[in-house]
Amino acid sequence: EPFYSFRNETFVHASRELKIHNKIHVLSQCHDLTGNSLLTSFYVLPELVGSAWSELNSRGRLLFVASHPERFADSVVTEIVGYSDENGDSPFWDA
């Protein structure tokens, strides 16, 4: 199943005849990461954030991937989820 993400790009619209050269910043939807293994996030109790347990859990997941390569794709990606408030609104998308 496809994994959709956004690519941060600059589009250039130019014409020598009209002497126009415009650069436009865009986020374009893509599925470049489809086929990679997705390393998802996990919840850590606030009192354990930054502790040895949290570090061990993170490294343990990567060691599992390294120990069982037949279960995973050649590349592993992770999704960084942005901030949402208690209503589910995101400043990124509301900007």
Q: pTM of the entire structure? A: 0.63
Shared domain for 19 and 40, answered yes or no, is no
Q: Which helix (H) or strand (E) holds 21?
A: strand 20-30
Task: List the structure tokens of 71.
Answer: 């279960």
Residues 19 and 9 reside in one and the same domain: yes
> How far apart are alpha carbons 5 and 28 in whole angstroms?
8
Q: Beta 37-39 vs 20-30: how paired, if at all?
A: unpaired
Give the H or E element holding residue 28. strand 20-30
Looking at the fold, whether 27 and 43 belong to one and the same domain comes out as: no
Enclosing domain of residue 4: 1-34
pLDDT digits (tens, 9 = 90+) for 8-67: 999 999 999 999 999 999 999 999 999 999 988 777 888 988 899 888 988 999 999 999
Q: Is 50 part of any domain?
A: yes
